[in-house]
Amino acid sequence: MKKILLILFFVPLLFGCGGDKKENDLTENNIKGKVKEIIENWYDAKEAFGDLEKGDLNLKEKSKFNEDGNQTERTSYNSDGELERKVKYKYDEDGNQTERTSYNIDGELIWKNKYKYDEDGNKTERTSYNNDGDLDSKGKYKYDEDGNKTEFTSYNSDGELIFKFKYKYDKDGNKTEETWYDKDGELYRKYKYKYEFDKENNWIVQTIYEDEKATSITEREIEYY
């Protein structure tokens, strides 16, 4: 589970992508309504007497959004409630997120991502830099006709393939499946997602399965404007 969470920090999958033409960070991540803040608690999943239950808390994240629906800050805490990192965002005049920067508890740079977009406002490229400002990797995105992100491919600073992620969605744009492939094109992880929703049709409980076994449960608290 910790490996999953580590990768999720660097790949922009926090909320699961889907939906039509991107208008802001909320619509890009298939979140409906005017959302002010989202708190996500990540737990291990365990079975007890045939029932699925939450295990230990691994991570807590708070994401804040402005009234335009763009994310302004993401703060991550460990299982003891201690601050681990903070991510800040920058936007262009069209509201596209152009930069995402992560800092540790001392305010020191961990990594920085920069993004490019197509005419529909979909991310097409991600360039990642390490804490020394050196190029770490580049990523390319692909989308289906509904604007759902179907593929993310990452290359190292020499242009060599590192990994490829592929995604599937339900009719409402919620991610239902994610497959990871290594540099040789071999499948090495496959995840399936199940959800519970609130009255706005935003998911408030997400369960991740690997090899048909539940590995994590994420609970959301959503504050609306």
Query: How does pLDDT run across 144-156, given as a tens digit for each residue?
Result: 998 899 999 999 9
Concatenated DSSP letters of 81-122: S-EEEEEEEEE-TT--EEEEEEEETTS-EEEEEEEEE-TTS-
pLDDT for residue 190 is more than 50 = yes
pTM for the full predicted model = 0.89
CB 113 within 8 A of CB 128: yes
Alpha carbon distance 206, 214 (integer Å): 10
Q: Is 30 left (phi over 0), alpha (psi -120 to 50) or beta?
A: left
**Residues 87-92: what's their mean pLDDT?**
96
- What does the pLDDT read at residue 21? 54
User: Which domains does the chain possess?
Assistant: 2-224 (2.40.160)
Q: Which two tokens stand for residue 127?
A: 């360039």
Place of tokens 């504050």: 223
pLDDT for residue 79 is more than 90 = yes
Run of H or E residues at 217: strand 213-224
Query: How does pLDDT run across 123-174, given as a tens digit for each residue?
Result: 999 999 999 999 999 999 999 998 899 999 999 999 999 999 999 999 999 9
Place of tokens 């999958």: 13
pLDDT tier at 69, thresholds 50, 70, 90: very high
Q: Which residues have CB under 8 Å from 136's CB, separation 6+?
A: 111, 128, 129, 130, 156, 157
